A and B are shown apart, each in its own frame.
Chain A
Amino acid sequence: MSQHEKSQNFLSKIKSNRKKRFSEDSVFRATVLLIACNIFIILGLIIFKITQGAWLSIQTYGIKFLWGTTWQPFPPDPTVPPSFGALPLIWGTLITSAIALLLGVPISLGIALALSEFAPKSFNYIISFFVELLAAIPSVIYGLWGIFILIPFLQNNLYPQLQATLGFLPFFQGTIRGSSVLTGGIILAIMIIPTVSAISRDVFAAVPNSQREAIIALGATRWEKARIVMGYGRSGVIGAIMLGLGRAVGETMAITMVIGNSFNMFTSLFEPGATLASIVANEFTEASSPPVYISALMEAGLILFALAIAVNASARLVIWRSTRKIKEAEML
């Protein structure tokens, strides 16, 4: 073989090798893409199956399901057909989530600020560790703790005090029940703290130190510095709060255990109630007949699903937009 032929041979070898490698590469790429696309298939199938299950209820009650206030799978008069409306459930979901945000967000922001602005490093690790541990507790454990420790405490100590001082407000009137909407909201508040505080802490930690130095050099106190940090991370914090809201809206086990499970268009927070999630968890075992009963539960699930997706999607959008904004500002 001449020198020239040798090199030709060598070149063609490289070429065929490259071809082979290229085809392997494309196979790998297609496989990975296909696996990634599964996420759409799974999501699509879930939406499809729930809608299919809810179809009977949607057909029977139409849009009125959203503001109906009766939930009678077995009407006392057997000749009357069962009727379902989800307003008290939507109401319960919204109010418990609102209580969760009202109580949970200030605490979470306090934790996040303490971690990013004030606390010494070693203390930071400990607090972060415990906050993240809080997120790892199974929700049924929160429920158990709620029933056996939180409820007796609230019912005997905090709630009577609350009624004595704020009893003139309609939300704090009537008989005090331990298993109530307020207890549900309090449990949710505790459960959203890890999410909201961890994301807020990351948002605050990402605020450039030059911002802190700028305000300190103007003679700011620590609180004024913290306000600048919060202002800089404002949209990230809104995103964190909305992720917390997503968690509160969808939380099922713990709230089912403490809310009292009563289909009830409550005005007082001391009354028992139910949420979209809790009614599904609580009633699906007994909903074998009539068929429209299970379908109504499916529709409650569908509303919950839509609500959770909407809240989470907008949270992600807000966080994404805020980080993009910060990046743009830094590039200038």
Chain B
Amino acid sequence: MRYKIEIQSLSAWFGSKQVLQDITMRIKENVVTAIIGPSGCGKTTLIRCLNRMHELTPRAKVTGRVLLDGEDIYGENVDPVTVRRRIGMVFQKPNPFPMMSIYDNTVAGLKLNGVTDKKRLDEVVEKSLRAAHLWDEVKSELGKSGASLSGGQQQRLCIARALAIEPEVILMDEPTSALDPTAAAKIEQLIRILAENYTVVIVTHNMQQAARVSDFTAFLYLGKLVEYGSTKDIFENPKSELTEKYITGEFG
């Protein structure tokens, strides 16, 4: 198995406040990597650095390198727009475009790439919605507004939207925290299936979820990478005392 993403001494700031300190880790291809840690430890910032979303916040700063297939996404001649077309993202709160139909939501990214061929779009809509396990629930009402769906369906629509541009990596920022347990369980199943074809990086504050869905787990604390290894090792024999304390629920 090769490494899809290599993070090399990555540090990040909001203004003068440093939120990530010298993170170095390698993320394997076509597995699920979970990032866990207490609130404010920088886990969301970390994945937002992977598709260059962090720098959109005013006064935010990043140093270090992030290699995607060996190429630095912070390189001088790299356009962040192209990076984001290769690395999709799903957010904490479902954010479909309410003024667009389910159909248009799904292909919103594709249309940005200039695809207008109706047949091609139809195919991608079906394929992406099927991949997001939403097709059977919405196939008869593709013209309805994306906002008319339930929260869990909206989140799967957002996953379909991210899949439609055929990214190589999918970043998920606490994708189930705004959902009820049933909807969350569906998303978790979906994440396992997605890992067959995509590199998935998921941020979660829910340790059970990390244990259930991920192959590798990174534990972040106060902006530092404390421990990183296979999920089994992290949860069963953590090397660091801090990791053990967090996993057994002593703090966090």
Count: A-B pairs, CB below 8 Å: 70
CA distance A219 to B99 in the complex (A): 19
**Does A55 count as interface, using CB distance less than 8 angstroms?**
no
Give B128-173 interface residues, CB cut-off 8 Å to A: 147-148, 150-151, 154, 158, 161-162, 165
Query: B112's contact among A211, A224, A332, by CB below 8 Å, is which?
Result: A224
B211 at the interface (CB under 8 A from A): no
Q: Which residues of B contact A332 (CB under 8 A)?
A: 147-148, 150-151, 154
Contact B56 A232 (CB under 8 A): no
Contact B99–A217 (Cβ < 8 Å) = no
Instruction: Tell me if B14 counts as interface (CB < 8 A to partner A).
Output: no
A326 surroundings in chain B (CB, below 8 A): 98
Contacts of A220 in B (CB 8 A): 81, 112
A218 to B165, CA, bound (A): 8
With A and B bound together, what is the CA distance between A219 and B53 in angstroms? 10
The reply to whether A217 and B58 form a contact with Cβ atoms under 8 Å apart is: no
B89 within 8 A of A: yes
Interface string of B169-180 (1 = CB under 8 A from A): 000000000000
Closest to B147 in A: A329
Rounded to whole Å, the gap between the CB of B183 and the closest CB of chain A is 13
A13 → chain B, closest Cβ, in Å?
Answer: 53
Contact A219 B95 (CB under 8 A): no
Chain B CB within 8 A of A228 CB = yes
CA distance A329 to B56 in the complex (A): 26
| Given known A121-B58, A224-B112, A332-B147, contact A217–B84 (CB-CB < 8 A) | yes
Q: Which chain B residues border A121 with CB–CB below 8 Å?
A: 58
CB pair A213–B95 under 8 Å, yes or no, is: yes
Is A38 positioned at the interface, with any CB of B under 8 Å from its CB? Answer: no
Chain A nearest Cβ from B23, distance in angstroms: 21
Given the contacts A216-B56, A218-B112, A211 and B97 also touching, CB distance less than 8 Å: yes
Residues on B with beta carbons closer than 8 Å to the beta carbon of A211? 95, 97
In whole angstroms, what is the CA distance A228 to B96 when docked?
11
Q: In the complex, A211 Cα to B89 Cα: how many Å?
A: 13
- Size of the chain A interface, CB-CB below 8 angstroms: 22
Q: Which of B85, B147, B151 contacts A219 (CB 8 A)?
A: B85
**Set of chain B residues within 8 Å of A232, measured between Cβ atoms:** 97-99
User: Quick check: A219 and B97 within 8 Å, CB to CB?
Assistant: no
What A residues does B165 contact at CB under 8 A? Answer: 218-219
| Residue in contact with B81 in the complex, picked from A213, A214, A219, A228, CB distance below 8 Å | A219
Binary B-proximity of A318-332 (CB < 8 A = 1, otherwise 0): 000000001001001
Which residues of chain A from 200 to 235 have any CB-CB distance to chain B below 8 Å in the complex? 208, 210-211, 213-221, 224, 228, 231-232, 234
Distance between Cα atoms of A220 and B56 in the complex (Å)? 13
Bound-state CA distance A215–B95 (Å) is 10
CA distance A221 to B82 in the complex (A): 10
B92's nearest neighbour on chain A, judged by CB, is A210
Q: Is B108 interfacial (CB 8 A cutoff)?
A: yes
Say whether B109 faces chain A, with CB atoms less than 8 Å apart.
Answer: yes
> In the complex the two chains form, what is the Cα distance from A126 to B43 in whole Å?
37
A218-B58 contact, Cβ under 8 Å, with A211-B97, A232-B99, A332-B147: no
> Complex formed: what's the CA distance from A234 to B98 in Å?
12
Cβ–Cβ contact A214 & B97, under 8 A: yes
B89–A217 CB distance below 8 A: yes
Please, how many angstroms separate the alpha-carbon atoms of A218 and B148 in the complex?
Answer: 22
Whether A219 contacts B91 in the complex (CB less than 8 A), given A211-B97, A232-B98, comes out as no
User: In the assembled complex, which residues on chain B have CB atoms less than 8 Å from the CB atom of A208?
Assistant: 95
Check A218–B108 contact: CB distance below 8 A. yes
A-B contact pairs, 17 of them (CB 8 A): A121-B58, A210-B95, A213-B89, A213-B91, A214-B97, A215-B108, A217-B88, A218-B112, A218-B162, A219-B81, A219-B82, A219-B84, A219-B109, A221-B112, A224-B112, A231-B100, A232-B97
